[in-house]
């Protein structure tokens, strides 16, 4: 987040910072879904999180994982 806030300050000056929403999911449950091959359930969890962030005003969602990109389009 420091990089985002620095970019905002560089662009806008002063003490401006980025409006950042973050939701952290319990990865243990996600891994269980992946191991079981239940990608639909994993997509539901990720989709619900994205909807929650969107309702909070997020313009985009960044997924910080190596495997969930498989279902990002869903």
Write the pLDDT tens digit of every residue in 14-23.
999 988 899 9
Query: Does the global pTM surpass 0.75?
Result: no
Write the pLDDT tens digit of every residue in 31-66.
999 999 999 999 999 999 999 999 999 988 888 887
Confidence of residue 28 (pLDDT cuts 50, 70, 90): very high
For residue 2, the model assigns a pLDDT of: 83
Q: Is the distance from CB of 52 to CB of 21 less than 8 angstroms?
A: no
Q: Is the distance from CB of 40 to CB of 52 less than 8 angstroms?
A: no
| Per-domain boundaries in the chain | 23-74
For residue 39, how many other CB atoms are within 10 A of its CB?
16
CA pair distance 47, 23, nearest whole angstrom: 12
């Amino acid at each position: 987040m420091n990089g985002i806030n620095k970019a905002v300050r560089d662009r806008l000056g002063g003490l401006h910072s980025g409006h950042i929403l973050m939701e952290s999911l319990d990865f243990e449950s996600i891994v269980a879904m992946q191991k079981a091959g239940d990608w639909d359930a994993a997509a539901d969890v990720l989709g619900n999180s994205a909807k929650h962030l969107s309702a909070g005003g997020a313009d985009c969602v960044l997924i910080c994982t190596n495997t969930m990109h498989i279902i990002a389009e869903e």
